[in-house]
Structure 1
Amino acid sequence: MSEAFLLGDVADVVAGVGFPKDMQGGQDGAIPVFKVGDISAAWLQGKSLLADSRNYLSAEEAKSLGKCVPAGATVFAKIGEALRLNRRVMLGRDALVDNNVMGLVPKREKVSPKYLYYFMQTVDLGELSRSTTVPSIRKSDVVEISIPVPRLAAQDQIVAELEKQFSRLDEAVANLQRVKANLKRYKASVLKAAVEGRLVETEATLAHREGRTYETGEQLLQRILEERRAKWTGKRKYREPVKPETEALSELPTGWVWASPEQVSAGEPYSLAIGPFGSSLKVSDYKTEGVPLVFVRNIRSGSFGGENTVYVTADKAAELSAHSVDAGDVLVTKMGDPPGDVCRYPANRPPAVITADCIKLRVTKVGVDPGFIEYAIASRVVQDQILGITKGVAQLKVNLANFSSIALPLPPYAEQARIVVEVDSHLSIIREVEAEVDANLQRAQALRQSVLQRDFSTASPNADALQPTH
């Protein structure tokens, strides 16, 4: 027979630790460090075990931070959007986890690690959140979860039956994930070709064939800078925008030029800006209606609006006008793992305000297509530059000063427009296929939950053992 226990009876609930900003960890260290992003990445790849990390600490450094979470523990996010997504994995080795992660260490005389791991997949941790803005859970919430605990032999039967059924499902999911990976590579190749002048015929080639002249990217950039200088009405002496860092970059196609984000910005105050920091915008300012806020998660997902949207009052938005966002503005994450996700603020959304760790680039209307700038930043050519200026161990960030001087390829305006049309066409196809793949992955996840719910119901009190299903 099985008995109903509280989770705290059969597992120790442990929280992660904070990592000092000045602590340097290397791949040659002994102890892996896992963050929420590592959990999500493993989950998205269909992995149940988390063993390899991009961050390691020496045994001595790890010991100074606290006790490692042992292999076999189930770990998951305890705060943020990742909590709502209910992604969890088992540790494949002893590790440190950061303070946004919570772990369940099974008391093995009562519950097997795999049984606990599969059971936790039936629990919606997001429902335990007490916050309406940033979801979060506490240890006291988790220890009170009820869990059916049959004999260890029956637990092993349940796990064996689940794994038999999931092996077929996992194979189908793996095939879908391979399709997604191929689509990601295809998108990267499209963007790479776009910023290397190989996606459409260059303006230089067309002009030569048609026997005409054209405005080169260099001439366009000079015109942008001259018009900005001529329109300057500020009280201070005019400051030329910073030039791009082009050392070690490859040669551009004929008629193109390297330009910095500051050079292609609108040139108005705060046309290149980050979100407010410190006490300028506090959680207490958040409202359920008003002017919407843009978070890093919105830029990553390209999704604005919906039931989870957070707002500020119109008066607060006016106070934060330096951080305002309008349709067509290019938005970039300045923190993440790694930073550099990019999208345009959509035309069908009202003006908004960016939050901390977001960068806004409002491009000039003098011969620069914001769509091209978005795709350039998303390309490997610029992403590698962003990675090169990323700093931090516990939290990876890019500062605005360094971002202002990265190098963006700038072709003639007519060529920009043709590139955007062609990229849009390719990405439209990719999005359609991705939507179908995601729908099938959701069906697979729903089937997995159905199997888990059914089989764990057989482990409820008075159930002696798993009844095999066919």
Structure 2
Amino acid sequence: MSENTELPKNWIKCELGEVVEIHDNERKPINNSERNSRIENKALNELFPYYGATGQVGWIDDFLSNEESVLVGEDAAPFLDPIKNKAYLVKGKFWVNNHAHILRGLQGYVSNKFILHQMNYVDYQEHVSGSTRLKLTKTALTKMPFTLCPFNEQNRITDKIDELFSELDAGVKELEAAQIKLKHYRQSLLKSAVEGALTQKWRDDNKDKIEETGKELLNRILIERKQRWEQNKLEEFKEKGKKPPKNWQDKYPEPVQPDTTDLPELPESWVWASVDQLVYESSYGTSVKCAYETGNTPVLRIPNVINKKVSISDLKETVDLFDIGLNKQLLSGDILIVRTNGSLSLMGQTALVRDIEDGFYFASYLLRLRTPMDTILPEWMDLYFGSKNARAWIENQASSSAGQNNISLSKFSNLHVPLPPLEEQVQLISMLANEFDSIDRQNEATDLGLKQSEAQRKNILKSAFSGQLVPQDPDDEPASVLLEKIKQERVAIAKISKPRKQSKPRKRVELMNTLLEVLTAENDWIDAQNAFQKCGIVDGTSTDRIEEIYTELRKLEKTGRIKIQRQGDFDQLKLTTQDIKED
């Protein structure tokens, strides 16, 4: 929101804290395990929404708030994203954790919807703090700019915004439905391809032109696979200056046979094979330390495997010199696999390496497969790995630890692959490429439509808060008068005596001066909220003291003195025991 925008005559600019009520005293964080124990065996109609920074994060068996409110993220919100919303409207009975501020307008003076739309339009750049995790403190929130107009005009503005947003929502719904249909169509094409239905007519027309069936192709691959192994072993003996021992060929590791028990029947000229049978080299990547722009060996990581394509943007290189050798570097035709990811749908995703420069390697969270053929076969395998059948098998084989899903190289090697004749693979790849190209173009068009829709929302809000969306009514009470009434109402509310609540005996907490003292005494993971409480951070603590502790936290994190991990809705802290050496 520009400070230089000329406002209509009856509008004024002020600070948010002058006109909006902030009810952060109603917030209370409850960890995930406690919430789960509290809602166990309870019906949904007995539960209440539990909200966080960007929306509902779960359910709970009680409520702390029962008024329409605007929730604005305190941290973990997309403050600097020009498109995503930072505020949302909630109604009814609900519970809010400590990651969102609770805002309300005084009834008859400031509309909650007016607050909502303005908080999704204002620029947060100068009001959030922090380096790794941006935070909007209550103090900063109260000082944010707020445009106030007559109350009746607020309602006219929000009604018009609702009308225009409703039209945009209908268009977005159609575009998103089109994207879903394209996704389903893509999968149906792939299913038809890997089952042989897509090329049924081609097989009927070309049955006399097939020189080698899938079974014969597999036998040829197995022979070449063994020959490659023998060649590599001889090179190893030569490098070590050793003579090959007697019967050394007998140590050849036979590849795993595919388990075809529950697999569908394939066309007559096709055969089932295992990944292990089709590759002669498979390996994990390197775990050497990498950084940006070192000038050493470039290393592809998980962020470089995107939508079944290899991207060399966001590229890191080894910190130290790293000699990978000609045989180990990535080559065109290699298949990379994401072996570890927090998202099950992203774990096991693959990408075919194409036209890559010499000298690239890959990181330890990726796997590499290399077939005896650098074209056609690896492309067919990569297409199959994206099919619904293959994805179901991969996800079923995954193990999970510390919130990460993982598939080992040995497990992935057992994956079954339908193997058509080579000529049919060429035909399938060509047919799918043409269809996928058309799907991609349609997806690009829908993506553009969605981006234009979001841009239009921002234009609507810009018009709304510059006074151009609806006409002004000269009979409306000016905002300056409205602001004075808000001040008077606040004074009147403050004078109303409130019944004193009986204080509950608090559990004695030994207070410490610094966060470092707390973490040293704890010597283990501790919820950040508990650590702050042991530093004396409770309701009513001065802003200066809170900022002092947050400053210490950022300094400890920056210098590597502490570890931070996410557990459910909460951060946990732990003192780093080992010495950290700075580069």
After TM superposition, the structure 1 stretch with the greater mean CA deviation from structure 2, 403-412 or 182-191, is 403-412
Q: Tell me which residue corresponds to 1:148.
A: 146
Deviation at 1:404, TM superposition (A): 2.4
Q: CA deviation digits over 1:370-402, x for unaligned, max 9? A: 221111011111111122123438735132232
Q: 1:367 to 1:457 in 2, by over 3 A?
A: closer
Give me the whole-angstrom Cα distance separating, in 1, the residues matched to 2:333 and 2:74.
Answer: 36
Q: Which amino acid aligns with 1:294?
A: L
Matches within 5 A, 1:383-422: 383-392=391-400, 395-400=403-408, 401-422=410-431
Q: CA deviation digits over 1:340-361, x for unaligned, max 9? A: 4333234266654434543333
Matched, 1:328 2:323: no
Matched, 1:241 2:255: yes
Q: TM-score, normalised by structure 2?
A: 0.57
After TM superposition, the structure 1 stretch with the greater mean CA deviation from structure 2, 24-33 or 82-91, is 24-33
Q: CA deviation digits over 1:84-120, x for unaligned, max 9? A: 68544748796899xxxx9433233578765555445
> What SS is found at the alignment partner of 1:139?
coil
Q: Which has the higher contact order (CA 8 A, sep 6+)?
A: 1
Give me the whole-angstrom Cα distance separating, in 2, the residues matched to 1:362 and 1:29.
Answer: 53
Q: Which amino acid aligns with 2:135?
A: K
Give me the whole-angstrom Cα distance separating, in 1, the residues matched to 2:466 and 2:286.
Answer: 48
> What SS is found at the alignment partner of 1:361?
strand
Give me the whole-angstrom Cα distance separating, in 1, the residues matched to 2:391 and 2:41.
Answer: 22
Q: Tell me which residue corresponds to 1:215.
A: 212
Q: CA deviation digits over 1:401-427, x for unaligned, max 9? A: 322222222212221111111110111
Deviation at 1:184, TM superposition (A): 1.0
8 A Cα contact 1:369 1:416, kept in partner: yes
Q: Which amino acid aligns with 2:146?
A: P
Matches within 5 A, 1:58-457: 73=71, 78=76, 87-88=84-85, 90=88, 103-109=99-105, 114-115=113-114, 117-122=116-121, 136-139=132-135, 144=140, 146-148=144-146, 150=148, 153=151, 157-201=156-200, 205=204, 208=207, 210=208, 214-232=211-229, 233-234=232-233, 237-265=251-279, 267-268=280-281, 271-273=282-284, 276=287, 280-281=288-289, 285-287=291-293, 291-301=297-307, 302=309, 304-306=311-313, 309-313=314-318, 315=320, 318=323, 325-334=330-339, 335=341, 336-339=343-346, 340-347=348-355, 352-355=360-363, 357-365=365-373, 369-392=377-400, 395-400=403-408, 401-457=410-466
8 A Cα contact 1:119 1:452, kept in partner: yes
Q: TM-score, normalised by structure 1?
A: 0.69
Give me the whole-angstrom Cα distance separating, in 2, the residues matched to 1:402 and 1:28.
Answer: 40
Deviation at 1:431, TM superposition (A): 1.3
> What SS is found at the alignment partner of 2:104?
coil
Matches within 5 A, 1:455-470: 455-458=464-467, 464=479
Q: Tell me which residue corresponds to 1:468.
A: none
Give me the whole-angstrom Cα distance separating, in 1, the residues matched to 2:181 and 2:190.
Answer: 14
8 A Cα contact 1:74 1:116, kept in partner: no
Give me the whole-angstrom Cα distance separating, in 2, the residues matched to 1:368 and 1:141.
Answer: 57
> What SS is found at the alignment partner of 1:331?
strand
8 A Cα contact 2:274 2:416, kept in partner: yes
Q: Tell me which residue corresponds to 2:485.
A: none
Give me the whole-angstrom Cα distance separating, in 2, the residues matched to 1:6 and 1:322.
Answer: 65
Q: CA deviation digits over 1:437-470, x for unaligned, max 9? A: 22222222211122223323459xxx939xxxxx
Q: 1:4 to 1:35 in 2, by over 3 A?
A: closer
8 A Cα contact 1:3 1:148, kept in partner: yes
8 A Cα contact 1:73 1:103, kept in partner: no
Deviation at 1:229, TM superposition (A): 1.9
Q: 1:409 to 1:351 in 2, by over 3 A?
A: farther
Matched, 1:3 2:41: no
Give me the whole-angstrom Cα distance separating, in 2, the residues matched to 1:229 and 1:87.
Answer: 55
Give me the whole-angstrom Cα distance separating, in 1, the residues matched to 2:80 and 2:344.
Answer: 17
Give me the whole-angstrom Cα distance separating, in 2, the residues matched to 1:273 and 1:368.
Answer: 23
> What SS is found at the alignment partner of 1:287?
coil
Question: Which runs of no fewer than 5 residues in structure 2 stay unpaired?
Answer: 1-11, 63-67, 237-247, 469-477, 481-583
The count of corresponding residues between Structure 1 and Structure 2 is 418
Q: Which amino acid aligns with 2:219?
A: Q
8 A Cα contact 1:368 1:413, kept in partner: yes
Deviation at 1:197, TM superposition (A): 0.6
Give me the whole-angstrom Cα distance separating, in 2, the residues matched to 1:289 and 1:84.
Answer: 32
Give me the whole-angstrom Cα distance separating, in 2, the residues matched to 1:117 and 1:356.
Answer: 45
Tell me the percent identity.
23
8 A Cα contact 1:331 1:358, kept in partner: yes
Q: CA deviation digits over 1:229-251, x for unaligned, max 9? A: 23324379432233334442222
> What SS is found at the alignment partner of 2:16?
strand
8 A Cα contact 1:391 1:398, kept in partner: yes
Work out which of the two has the higher radius of gyration on C-alpha atoms and give 1 or 2. Answer: 2
Q: Which amino acid aligns with 1:248?
A: D
Give me the whole-angstrom Cα distance separating, in 1, the residues matched to 2:327 and 2:21.
Answer: 52
After TM superposition, the structure 1 stretch with the greater mean CA deviation from structure 2, 251-260 or 172-181, is 251-260
RMSD over aligned CA atoms reads: 5.0
Give me the whole-angstrom Cα distance separating, in 1, the residues matched to 2:17 and 2:32.
Answer: 31
